[in-house]
A and B are shown apart, each in its own frame.
Chain A
Amino acid sequence: MTSIAIPRPAYAERPWILDWLTTVDHKKLGILYLYTTMFFFAVGGILALLVRAQLAVADNTFVNNDAYNQIFTMHASAMLFLFIIPVWAGFGNYIVPLQIGAADMAFPRINALSFWLIPPAGLLMFSGFLFGGASDVGWTAYSPLARSSGVGLDLWIISVIILGVSSTIGAANFMVTMFRMRAPGMTMFRMPIFCWTMLVTAVLQLLATPVLASGLAMLYIDRNFGGSFFDPNGGGNAILWQNIFWFYSHPAVYIMILPGMGIISEILPVFARKPLFGYKAFVFATMGIGGLGFSVWAHHMFTTGAVLKPWFGFMTFMIGVPTGVKMFNWLGTLWRGSITFEAPMLFALGFLSMFLIGGINGTFSAAVPVDFAIHDTYFVVAHIHYVLFGGAVFAVFAGLYYWFPKIWGRRLDERLARIHFALQFIGFNLAFFPMHLLGLDGMPRRIATYSESSGWETLNLISTIGAFLIGVAMIPFIINVVMAFLRPKDQPNDPWEGNTLEWWTTSPPPVHNFDSLPEVHSERPLWDLRHGKAAH
């Protein structure tokens, strides 16, 4: 075994708090990202429970219509802009440099800026609640409705622009890091698959986010400086906003899920003790999804009557193909493996079984006439959550359980993890499966209440019970984390017999990450060391 020695730099000691506030270390920033985004996950979750409490019974008056619109808007905004998009930047920050054998990100100070834009933007978005009401027009902020909403929407617009800046510069940083800083021997096609998904995500962010920012600037001008980009009465066009918004937000859907797929593709090979089946096919499928992602935005707009329906329907169907390829590759990875079921694997398998549903129920919206029926109903809410919760959130937990020993030097308890998984899996399906039936039966999304004569009460009650069960599922998780923090750090470099370079260094790694690096001959350098290259 040969390895490349890396000189160890010297560091000045700083007070603890100053250290965290001024750090440019990708690992500390990654941890700050994870804490911040999990905080907003909790906030978004509490808002979701308020939504479910209101909808538990017909003609409920637990929250009024005005508050309801703010609550569901902020639920989605927090979950998307403050949790799921930046949480991947958090994992990416911590893991990507380690996986490619780098000492840090390419631009550590820009990295710190990317992170420090997020907390103030989050506070700004939520500060609407103090100034007469947060945004209440949905996370999609359709015009002309968005022209007349209160100041909460201005705060929301500014906040989302700031978050867009954060993810745009972050994307550039990730791209340069992966293009320029890979360990000797690590060609692009030996890069860990999580890095690949972060790379494609970064490209999407770089191309799509500025489009959203310009749309938001136009909306701000419409609202505050007498513009009429989106106002038909002033010569503007209401549909233009939707085109701009979805040109960003459909690719954004992949920004929200691709890194999760990457995490799953790291975990399955480790716990099935086989390489990822069809590594290259997987990379091309990821690129395919990214590319096709820019040609389907108007599938959110079939019922506007203002888009070329057959084209967007066809492209939307087509995007199912690379997604299917991934599913089969994951199955191929498990096939004839030697599978064990530690916590990361449980959540990864949860992802596979639930994301599958999110892929299938999305297909119905590609059949345009069926979309006429289910668009803007609870069927779509079910679809969103099978992708974003059944997919992305299960992947977040898979990643947390998987990298916890690396990041915090302790291992989470398996028994509590299993309880967490079981409760979350059951709660999730109880909460969201009934929504398919509600949507088919005609329950529109974004309604603050429904009448008893609609017959939607039973299914809504089941859904609410499921939602609260998800809340309960967080208790064993939190206990698990707290108990782990009370224990001393005791984890070896490589507790799972991992494949990739982050498992080569100590847990947690030193500031400079690596004292030495092994030679990289494949996408599984540590496997090669453990079993010899012949076994590869």
Chain B
Amino acid sequence: MPSTGKLRVIRRVNLLISAALLAIASISPAFAGWGMPEPITDQAKRIQDLWVFTLIIALAVFFAVEGALLYAIFRYRKRSDELPKQTHGSTALEIVWTTIPVLIVITLFSYSFIVLRDVEKKAPSDALSIEVDGFQFSWQFTYDLARLGQGQAPAQEGTFSIIGTAAQEPTFVIPVGEPVEFRLKSNDVIHSFYLPNFHYKLDVVPGRDNRFVITANQTGEFTGQCAELCGINHALMRFHVRVVERAEFDKWVAEQVANKATVRQP
């Protein structure tokens, strides 16, 4: 029979091990990108780096404080009727634990400020520019034949649109490796254009001209959806983007143009 003291130690070790396992499981690298989905734009990559940096600091703070708490709970449980020393505080300590968070905060702010500036860079004037109209309850993506990017001379004048419905989710197409601008418009209520793989969303606000720019760095098909409550079928405002090589994009545009139904001549 182990003594009760030994039992207590065993129990404590057990507890520590399970706590550690839990912690490891929760940050398991099975979640590549530390929980974030794969970034598919240059901007998303920057945001992901910032996320990882912040997360590491957050985990350090978490384990330090949670560890100190657990330590205090085990170490300073009542053992006798003797009163503990009545310490009322310490100005030195207060200064230390005000200063350390201030330094952490300034570091985090500076880094996020730099990333913010970079991901909000404006598009070059000859970039592909797509108008995104959010409406209850789907999206319309409008391409201007005069603004198809890469300084291409407009093949012809006019626009074409991809129009979705809640039941028929729209798919639009962008080329990889070049800046693409999105201009967000709404005539009814506020929506939010959110593509998790962009690590980005921007609200679609009636009466506001909101724009953002991305440069995709890999091809594939990805799904996004509206992220601002906009009414009964908000949950169904999904859309898909296909990121393709430039040549394929041009081919796709040509197909759309050939399909007269969606092209409005000026």
A and B form one complex = yes
CA gap between A368 and B80 in the complex, in Å: 50
Residues of A within 8 A of B101 (CB): 320-321, 324-325
The closest CB in chain B to the CB of A64 belongs to: B232
Is B77's CB under 8 angstroms from A349's CB? no
Known: A65-B233, A318-B105. A356 touches B65 (CB 8 A): yes
Which segment, of B138-146, B204-212, B243-251, B253-261, faces chain A? B204-212
Known: A275-B86, A375-B201. A368 touches B69 (CB 8 A): no
The closest CB in chain A to the CB of B119 belongs to: A369
Is A364's CB under 8 angstroms from B89's CB? no
| B83 within 8 Å of A (CB atoms) | yes
CA gap between A281 and B93 in the complex, in Å: 11
Give a binary string over B207-234; 1 marks a CB under 8 Å from any A CB, 0 the rest: 1101000000000000111111111111
Is A367's CB under 8 angstroms from B50's CB? yes
| B interface, size bucket | 35 or more
Query: How many whole Å from A422's CB to the nearest CB in chain B?
Result: 14
Q: Which of A294-352 contact B (CB under 8 A)?
A: 303-306, 309-310, 313-314, 317-318, 320-321, 324-325, 327-329, 331-332, 334-341, 349, 352
Is B84's CB under 8 angstroms from A321's CB? no
Which segment, of B7-15, B124-132, B173-181, B186-194, faces chain A? B186-194
Residues of B within 8 A of A281 (CB): 89, 94
What does DSSP make chain B's interface, helix, strand, loop or mixed?
A: mixed
Is A349's CB under 8 angstroms from B73's CB? yes
Is A369's CB under 8 angstroms from B58's CB? no
Is A446's CB under 8 angstroms from B234's CB? yes
Which segment, of A113-121, A175-183, A396-404, A437-445, faces chain B? A437-445
| A370 within 8 Å of B (CB atoms) | yes
CA gap between A437 and B33 in the complex, in Å: 12
Is A275's CB under 8 angstroms from B62's CB? no
| A361 within 8 Å of B (CB atoms) | yes
| B3 within 8 Å of A (CB atoms) | no
Is B58's CB under 8 angstroms from A360's CB? yes
Question: Per a CB cutoff under 8 Å, which of A233, A280, A444 touches B89?
Answer: A280
| B47 within 8 Å of A (CB atoms) | yes
Query: How many whole Å from B45's CB to the nearest CB in chain A?
Result: 11
| A363 within 8 Å of B (CB atoms) | yes
Is A369's CB under 8 angstroms from B84's CB? no
Known: A239-B205, A356-B65, A437-B31. A303 touches B192 (CB 8 A): yes
CA gap between A331 and B68 in the complex, in Å: 8
Shortest 7 CB-CB distances between A and B: which pairs?
Answer: A442-B196, A232-B207, A447-B235, A278-B89, A367-B112, A373-B199, A334-B72
Taking beta carbons and an 8 Å cutoff, which residues of B are in contact with A?
26, 31, 35-37, 46-47, 50-51, 54-55, 58, 61-62, 65-66, 68-69, 72-73, 76-80, 82-90, 93-94, 97-98, 101-102, 105, 108-109, 111-113, 115-116, 119, 188-190, 192, 194, 196-197, 199-203, 205-208, 210, 223-236, 238
Taking beta carbons and an 8 Å cutoff, which residues of A are in contact with B?
65-66, 69, 136-138, 142, 144-145, 148, 232-233, 237-239, 272-275, 277-281, 303-306, 309-310, 313-314, 317-318, 320-321, 324-325, 327-329, 331-332, 334-341, 349, 352-353, 356-357, 360-361, 363-364, 366-370, 372-373, 375-377, 433, 436-437, 440-442, 444, 446-451, 453-454, 531, 535-536
Task: Supply 12 A–B pairs (Cβ within 8 Å), ascending by A.
Answer: A65-B233, A148-B189, A232-B206, A273-B78, A304-B208, A305-B205, A325-B97, A332-B87, A337-B84, A338-B77, A340-B77, A372-B119
